[in-house]
Amino acid sequence: MDERLVALKDPTLPVVRIEEIWQGIRTLDGPIAGAILLHPNCSPTLFWELFLHHPALAASNPSFSLLLLESESLTHQSAWTLHHLLRRPDIPASVLELLTHAEARKVAQEARHHQAFAGEVVAGWEAELLQLLASELHRDRRLVWLARVGALPEALNAALPYPIRPTPLPPRSPRGIPPYEDWEPRWQYNARLGQLVLEDGLALPERDQRHAILTFFACSDGELAPFLALAQVAARRLLTNATVAPVWYKRLGAALNHHLPTSALPRLTDDGNRWVRAVAQKRLADPKWRLF
C-alpha cells in the first residue's frame, strides 16, 4: 500500500504533514485525495477545496460539523463555482442550509430548491412550479416582446403579479429572412428603442420575429426571459448547451422544451434541482406532457 495512504490512516497526523502530502499529488481524483478529505486534521481551506469535487464523501469526515463552522473557503467561492456545485445531487443538507444564506441571491435560491434540502416534489407540483416561476424569477421588459410573438404562455402570464397585455406594434418592413433551426440572424436588440433591428436599421419582419427573439433571448442574461426562450426555441444546439448551464432555470427551460432530444433527459433526472428533476422524469414517463 502507498505509504501516504498508510500515513493518512493515522488520526493524529499533523496538519503540516497532510499539506505536504497534498502538495505532492495536487490531483483531485484518486484514493489519496479522498483520504485527505476524510482526515479529521484536514485544514478547513483544503477540506472545502476538495469538497467541491467530492461533496458526498466529505460528510463522512469526523470533524465535518466543526468544519461547517469554518466554511469561509466555501462561501467565498465565486457564484459560478457554487452554481456548478449545486447541480450535483449528492450535497449534504447541512451544506445546502449554509448556502441558502449565501450573499449571491441566485446561489441562495438554487440551494433552497435543491432536492436534498427541499425534498422531491409532491402531487400537484406543476401549479407550484408555475407560481414559483412567476414570483421568483426576475422579470424585465423583454416579456413584452415574448408576449407579442406568442411566446409568453397564458398560464404563466396569469400568475404574474401584473399580467402583460402589450399594445400592437406599428406595421413593419416586408423584408424577410428565411428562418431555420440554427440561423444566425443579422440583427441586434436596440435597448434604447426597445426593439430588434437589422444591421441596416430596418425593423425585423413580423414573420421572422418569434424565432429571432427566442434565439436571442435564450443566449442572453436575465432570468424569466431566457427561461421562456429556452423552453420554446427550436435550436437543439442551444438546448443541449443549456442542459449543463450553471443556473437552474436555464436547465429547466431546456428540460421543458420538446425540441430537446429525449436522450438528454436521463442526465437531467439526476440534477440537483428538484424542479429540473421532476420535469425530466415527467417527460420521460409521458412524452406528451406539457407544463404550458
Range of the domain at 22: 3-118
Half-sphere exposure of 34 (CA within 13 A, CB side): 7
Provide the number of structural domains found in the chain: 2
Q: Which of 67, 98, 118 is the last residue of a domain?
A: 118
Q: Which of 62, 86, 118 is the last residue of a domain?
A: 118
In a domain, 290, yes or no: no
Is the domain of 143 the same as that of 112?
no
Dihedral, CA of residue 141, residue 103, residue 33 and residue 5, to nearest 10: -160
**How far is residue 174's CA from residue 36's CA, in Å, rounded to a whole number?**
67
Nearest Cα to 129, choosing from 278, 271, 231?
278
Query: For residue range 80-93, what is the model confidence (pLDDT) as tens digits?
Result: 999 999 999 999 99
In the block, which residue shows the cell 476538495? 50
pLDDT of residue 184: 42
pLDDT of residue 25: 84
Is the domain of 150 the same as that of 281?
yes
In the block, which residue shows the cell 473557503? 73
Q: Which of 118, 150, 165 is the last residue of a domain?
A: 118
Band (pLDDT 50/70/90 cuts) for residue 183 is: very low
55-58 contacts: CB < 8 A, separation 24 or more? 55/85, 55/88, 55/90, 55/91, 55/92, 55/95, 56/90, 56/91, 56/92, 58/92
Q: Is the dihedral of CA 152, 155, 160, 164 positive or negative?
A: positive
Query: For residue range 233-246, what is the model confidence (pLDDT) as tens digits?
Result: 999 999 999 999 99
pLDDT of residue 167: 77
**How far is residue 274's CA from residue 112's CA, in Å, rounded to a whole number?**
10
Query: For residue range 108-143, what is the model confidence (pLDDT) as tens digits?
Result: 999 999 999 999 999 999 999 999 999 999 999 889
Is the domain of 132 the same as that of 114?
no
**How far is residue 166's CA from residue 143's CA, in Å, rounded to a whole number?**
9
Q: How are the residues of the chain apportioned to helix, strand and coil, as percentages rounded to the nearest 5?
A: 55, 5, 40
Provide the CA 89 distance to its chain's centre, in angstroms: 13
**How far is residue 165's CA from residue 186's CA, in Å, rounded to a whole number?**
28
99, amino acid identity: L
Is the domain of 108 the same as that of 131?
no
Q: Please provide the DSSP assignment of 166-193 as one string.
A: PPPPPP---------TT---SEEEETTT
In a domain, 186, yes or no: yes
